[in-house]
Amino acid sequence: MDKLNRYSDLLYCVLRVVLGLMFACHGGTKILGFPVSSYGPAASTLGFVTGWIELICGFLVALGLFARAGAFIASGEMAVAYLMTAAGRGIFPIANGGEMSVTYCVAFLYMVFYGPGHWSIDFALKQKAAARIAS
């Protein structure tokens, strides 16, 4: 198992990028109509607001740029989405159709506490600033 630990930073980066891009795709569908999905473009002000949050925060998380802030906002949006759409239909997310909202919410919340990781723009900027201070 210790041999697998050396890949944990890389796999966290893959998780962050994939989750961020999938989240951005939801926003892209609502705002840009791309990628095409069964959801379609946003039809209300709330849809446009959530679309922009998903698009911007998704890219921030994927790039690892202001990743904690982006993940915090995205997690909050998914908590609100769950409460507004699924929670009224029952207590179990798998039964009320809210499992994706809960999954996104918890994954982004984890990213808030874990941070952007070593393979991110935030980490590179931090290293560059530390090197500038040291020299």
pLDDT score, position 37 = 80
pLDDT score, position 38 = 77
Give residue 93's identity as a one-letter amino acid code: P
Q: Which domain holds residue 16?
A: 7-134
Residue 30 burial (CB count, 10 A): 24
CA distances from 75 to 36, 37, 68, 121 (A): 24, 22, 10, 20
Describe the crossing of helices 99-114 and 8-31 by its angle, rounded to 10 degrees.
130
pLDDT score, position 34 = 87
Q: Is residue 1 part of a domain?
A: no
pLDDT score, position 119 = 95
pLDDT score, position 57 = 98
Nearest to 121 by CA among 66, 56, 69: 66
* Separation CA 134–CA 23 (nearest Å): 38
pLDDT score, position 112 = 98
Q: Is residue 80 part of a domain?
A: yes
pLDDT score, position 29 = 94
For residue 61 the two structure tokens come to: 């998380």
Q: Is residue 48 part of a domain?
A: yes
Per-position pLDDT tens, the chain of length 135: 688 899 999 999 999 999 999 999 999 999 998 888 877 888 899 999 999 999 999 999 999 999 999 999 999 999 999 999 998 999 899 999 999 999 999 999 999 999 999 999 999 999 999 988 987
Q: Is residue 2 part of a domain?
A: no
pLDDT score, position 52 = 97
For the chain, the domain total comes to: 1
Dihedral class, residue 120 (left if φ above 0, else alpha if ψ from -120 to 50, else beta) = beta
